[in-house]
Structure 1
């Protein structure tokens, strides 16, 4: 799972890191640590709805994860449409001529950055 942070003014997103997922509880605990360390005041999770706008199994899993995470942190946890963020991340990395191995390592962090930037841009309008 990729993590990104915004600047204090909420204008610009930047990649933070990738969390290797072993379980939802472990990922939620890792995010809880990031919230404390970076004094995060809002969490945005990618909501993987289908291109047709339907809520499939992946989206339902994220909704359950959101509930788990919301019970661990004292900040709002919001879902935001993540359609095509991984595709965009792959395209950015290909255009930057990043090797296949390196792309695999960073694609989730780049996708998280794109998602957060879309969120920030949507909120500024």
Structure 2
């Protein structure tokens, strides 16, 4: 039997989470971060670019991330991470050894496309 979260989201709560597709346009090692991470700049099309920190170094090389489409939550308030303000949250599946597999669209779609 699988574990289930006892608290259920309402449809309205879910619709408040703005997940959008974006393309990574810059990626570099985030040397100042406590845990191994990359600094990413992501293009969300008409919604602009946002920067973030992502702990995805176990499975991804920074240079190979450029041009990759990912999914991120874009309506969290900015969060200070080391010396950078993170503006979005990249989504991924966290494995048993804390390795993160990015969630990405099956095929290329327009940057800024909403996930729902």
TM-score, structure 2 as length reference? 0.24
Higher share in helix: 1
Pick the structure with more strand per residue: 2
**Larger RCO (alpha carbons 8 Å, 6+ apart):** 1
